[in-house]
Amino acid sequence: MKTKDSESCSKYLQRVKRRKYPALVSLFVPNLDNPYFGGLTEKITRRFNRDNVHVSISGMLNKNIEIVKMFSPSATIMVCQMDTDFINQVAVEDNIIGINCAFPEGIVFPNIEIDFRSSYLKIAARAISMGRSKFAFLTHMPEESQDDKFSHVREVLEKNGLHPVGPKDRRSFSDIKSFVSFSSSRKKNVDIAFCEDDPTAVKLLAELAMNGLKVPEDIIVVGCDNTIPVSRLWTVDIDLEEIAEVTFQLYRELISHHIITGKTIIMTKPVFRNG
């Protein structure tokens, strides 16, 4: 009796045999305007090019599927893809390597996961040791997508009997203006802000300065990705070179007809800047 996994493995081997362009991979990246995604794209492209593998880059779902169907690349690399329907569509045609993706059940391809937990635990612990207790979160992401990062901070708060501050109907602020308005309404309304990424954090730094709030004296600002090295900005560093190298090694395993499943963990590290 065939299981779902055995059927998936069989389909995978069939795809490997019919590749038309073994020296071509497609790379789906959701937001190339973001420095993290742009930097990761550059690192992956350079690593694959070094071994004469061409990378076709796309930021649109339909375009990526079109590339897969037209050129049959030897693999598709997906970055931060949560759309399970899209993943399933590509999996029918191509081999997949995920980077922080939400693979649905039955997908037997490798997924690289970025571990934010240890970094956020250390950042939260240091902030509390400095007497900070009014934690807030700033992100445009929907609430169901925030746990990858911010759940670890909330875990530390709960252990210390603290509660995050923020709007009544959400667990986080969705825009900078509402955050600054809340922070400026009373002194020390917020004393540490966790932002979705470095670009958001840098914009917040500017808005806080224009409203007379000092960083880090009044508010510690925490970004993520370490793509914009600004003084006084705490952040989480992600090793893009390591991700690119691991992605390439997984790719080599895939095209060697090896079945690779499960997760590969990439650790992050906290960055503290106070001046």
Same domain, yes or no: 122 and 207: yes
Q: Report the distance separating Cα 37 and Cα 30, nearest Å.
A: 8
Candidate from 81-90, 141-150, 164-173, 249-258 with smallest mean pLDDT: 141-150
Angle subtended by helix axes 61-71 and 84-93, to nearest 10: 10
- Tens of pLDDT, residue by residue over 37-89, are 999 999 999 999 999 999 988 877 666 667 666 767 888 899 988 888 888 88
The secondary structure element, H or E, covering residue 39 is helix 35-50
Same domain, yes or no: 188 and 244: no
Q: Please report how many Cα atoms fall inside a 13 Å half-sphere around the Cα of residue 97, on the Cβ side.
A: 26
Same domain, yes or no: 174 and 73: no
- Tens of pLDDT, residue by residue over 210-230, are 999 999 999 999 999 999 999
pTM of this structure: 0.84
Same domain, yes or no: 142 and 194: yes
Question: Which range marks the domain in which residue 142 is found?
Answer: 117-223
Number of Cβ atoms within 10 Å of the Cβ of 226: 23
